[in-house]
Amino acid sequence: MEEEQCLEEEDNMAATKKHPGFKAVQNKIAKKQGISKEAAGAILATAARKASPEAKRKNPMLGHVKGKAKK
């Protein structure tokens, strides 16, 4: 019973975590892949444009990324 409650609390915590922000994610991509921040920003922007409608409902700022998604 206690184990189920702990798992439930962990799920709730994960669901309420805030997005770290585009600049932080951009820096993380750049550091992980060993590329420039500009290139990392392009990768992040492409991913934001391709985000699912559900993701855009959860994080409306994804809709503010300029450009058009390629299919």
- The pLDDT score that the predictor gives to residue 25 is 92
The answer to whether the CB of 63 falls within 8 A of the CB of 56 is yes
58 occurs within a structural domain: yes
User: How many domains does the chain contain in total?
Assistant: 1
Which ranges of the chain would DSSP assign to H, the alpha helix? 2-16, 22-33, 37-49, 53-58
Distance CA 32, CA 46 (A): 17
In a domain, 10, yes or no: no
Q: Which of 21-25, 41-45, 54-58, 61-65 has the lowest mean pLDDT?
A: 61-65
Amino acid at the residue 7: L
Contacts of 63 (CB under 8 A, 6+ apart): 56
pLDDT digits (tens, 9 = 90+) for 27-57: 999 999 999 999 999 999 999 999 999 998 9
15 found inside a domain? no
Entry pTM: 0.64
Domain that holds residue 30: 20-71
H or E element, residue 36: none
In a domain, 2, yes or no: no
Is residue 48 in a domain? yes
